[in-house]
Amino acid sequence: MRAACTRASSGCVASTSSSARSCRSWERSLPREIVEELETLQDDVPSQSYRKIRKTFVASFGKPPDQVFTTFSHEPIAAASLGQVHEARNESRRQARVKVLYPRVATIIKVDLRCSIWGDPRLQELRAGAADRARAPSNSARCSRERTDLVNEAAMIARMSKNFTNDPDVLFPKVYPAWSSRTVMTMTFMDGVKDLEARRTEDARARSV
């Protein structure tokens, strides 16, 4: 099963990684070995050129990243199907991360919707239920639009941060509004551990007890 899963995940990377990420969202209902293979897709998504990232940034702020930040890494620290993240430092030398959407993100969304909704009727039943199948396209389209509006994402971060103000175990990055737009979001840099790595650590600890 793991070998078949690996071949499937390779195909997903080559075609549409966001559709594969949608499959990964079912991790609680899929066997562990399948989840682990799908998890690797986040590391295998190819990044896009700095030229494209620079173009999107200039369209939002009228100047390139190198003129806004003291330093801006041309190589991304993370990449996904809709955008990628770059490391930067502001005038105070504070580390930041800059999330930038790709120029043709709307086209990517259309491909994703076509693959994930109409590609297999069984997926519609799993995701929405047979009775709600007719609403699946519009619901997915709305969710995809929200995912590509970084102003909306910044508002959600602020709301969640406020909701968890009194919980010291839950942290959220701070968004810098001056250098954020619908296609660019600048945040404080936060270190973290991927879900799969955390689960493996927990499993190892459980076995050692």
Say yes or no: 98 and 153 in one domain: yes
Q: Could you report the per-residue pLDDT of 162-202, keeping only the tens digit for each?
A: 999 999 989 999 999 999 999 999 999 988 777 767 777 88
Question: What is the rounded CA–CA span in Å between residue 157 and residue 175?
Answer: 8
Say yes or no: 16 and 114 in one domain: no
Say yes or no: 204 and 153 in one domain: yes
- Helix (H) / strand (E) element for 41: namely helix 41-44
Q: Between the CA atoms of 58, 62, 65 and 68, what dihedral angle is there, to the nearest 10 degrees?
A: -170
Say yes or no: 194 and 95 in one domain: yes
**Of 56, 41, 48, whose CA–CA distance to 9 is shortest?**
41
Full residue range of the structural domain in which residue 139 is found: 105-146
Say yes or no: 8 and 89 in one domain: no
Say yes or no: 135 and 164 in one domain: no
**Do residues 138 and 149 lie in contact, with contact meaning Cβ atoms separated by under 8 Å?**
no
pTM: 0.68
Question: What is the rounded CA–CA span in Å between residue 118 and residue 134?
Answer: 11
Q: Could you report the per-residue pLDDT of 106-141, keeping only the tens digit for each?
A: 676 767 666 655 555 555 555 555 555 555 555 555
Domain containing residue 77: CATH number: 3.30.200
Number of CB atoms found within 10 A of residue 68's CB: 19
Say yes or no: 75 and 166 in one domain: yes
Say yes or no: 85 and 154 in one domain: yes
Q: How many domains does the chain have?
A: 3
**Collapsed DSSP state (helix, strand, coil) of residue 69:** coil
